[in-house]
Amino acid sequence: MEKLRIALAQIETKLGDLEGNKKKIIDSIFRAKELGAEIVVTPELSTLGFGSGDIYLDKVNENLDALEEIQLTLEETGLTGVIGYVDRDERGFFYNAAAIIVNGKLIGKYHKVQLVNYRLFDEKRYFKPGSKLPVFKTPHGILGVLICEDIWFPEPSRAVTFRGAEVLIVLSASPYDRGKNNLWKDFLRERVRDNILPAVFVNQSGIQDGVTYWGGSMVLSASGKIIKELPLLEETIDVVEIHLEESKRLRRRDIRVREVRREILEELLKAFEDMQQ
């Protein structure tokens, strides 16, 4: 039985509180270790906190230093980490990113592809969108890592599925408004059902500047069943065991991944281009 024990660190980050947030992440890694996890996942932008405004521009260096310290803790504990942070490339552009760290080594980075700029969101003021959808091979399985809004679109999860992801990991900082928690369940279920693979959603908790990050992190099995749901609004951590073979078993008869046709994907791209005209 292929199993994956994954810790959902539903932490309450504070806006720009690098020291405090780093400590919470490090404490979560130790706690995840105690709970027997192999992988620990933190929310989106967990080093600086989601909604930090121009603080992203001021504190990117310190955030990268914090990530190095987090790497040391992951090395010490032997856990694999998927950590939300602000990345910066050699040209000086910033990304809403996730670091994938195995045995203390940064084996890969993911840059959020669907930045949000509507309603209260202002991500394009700070971040450049990513355009790559890689998967990450770890000793515990192949991870498809996405960030928040990426899951509201069908394409990113589809791409990592084609690349062989065995589990979808979604880092999030989702602000609460009426019905939001149920809407997220719908989106996650749709992606899981379309791609027939399990999903782990880790959401920030707590209230910052009147915006509530509702927590409610959850794990869905490849069949779309919610197998774990963390409490709303509370800072907490929990470990869930995911059975990776379920997806393979379901895919024996469920053809919706293997029978995707190239001609149809090409047609989709053409249709998209028509829409852009």
Partner 1 sequence: MNQDIDIRLEKEELEIFKRIIQKSILTRIKKIGAKGGVVALSGGIDSSLVATLAQEVLGENLTAIIMPEEGISPENDIRDALNLVKSRGIKYKYITINDAVEWFTKMLPSQDLNDFRTRLTIANVKPRIRMIINYMYANYEGKIVLGTSNKTELLLGYGTKFGDMAADIYPIGDLYKTQVWQLAEYIGIPTEIIRKKPSAGLWKGQTDEEELGHTYYEIDRVLYALVELELSVRETSELLGIDVESVEDIYRRIIHSEHKRKPPTITRLSKMCLDKDWRYPVERY
3: annotated active-site residue: no
The only residue of 36, 53, 78, 164 in contact with partner 1, by rule CB under 8 A: 53
Amino acid at 155: E
Is residue 18 classed as helix, strand or coil in its secondary structure?
A: helix
CB 42 within 8 A of CB 201: no
* Residue 269, Cβ density class (10 Å: 0-12 exposed, 13-18 middle, ≥19 buried): exposed
Specify the residue, 138 or 174, whose C-beta has the smaller distance to partner 1.
Answer: 174
Residue 52 sits in the site that holds partner 1 (CB under 8 A): yes
Is residue 133 classed as helix, strand or coil in its secondary structure?
A: coil
Which residue in 12, 22, 24, 44 is the catalytic one?
44
d(CA 174, CA 241): 24
Residue 23 CB, shortest distance to partner 1, in Å, is 12
The only residue of 45, 55, 70, 82 in contact with partner 1, by rule CB under 8 A: 55
44: annotated active-site residue: yes
Residue 210 sits in the site that holds partner 1 (CB under 8 A): yes
Which residue in 109, 112, 128, 228 is the catalytic one?
112
Residue 254 sits in the site that holds partner 1 (CB under 8 A): no
The only residue of 2, 34, 54, 266 in contact with partner 1, by rule CB under 8 A: 54
Q: Is 37 left (phi over 0), alpha (psi -120 to 50) or beta?
A: beta
Residue 176 sits in the site that holds partner 1 (CB under 8 A): yes
d(CA 19, CA 165): 33
Structure tokens at 274: 């028509």
The only residue of 62, 65, 122, 235 in contact with partner 1, by rule CB under 8 A: 122
Structure tokens at 78: 């032997």
Residue 215 CB, shortest distance to partner 1, in Å, is 11
The separation between the first and the last C-alpha atoms of the chain, rounded to the nearest angstrom, is 50
Specify the residue, 141 or 175, whose C-beta has the smaller distance to partner 1.
Answer: 175
Which residues are tagged catalytic? 44, 112, 148
Chain residues that interact with partner 1, rule: CB under 8 A = 14-18, 20, 51-55, 122, 125, 176, 178, 206-210, 212, 232-233
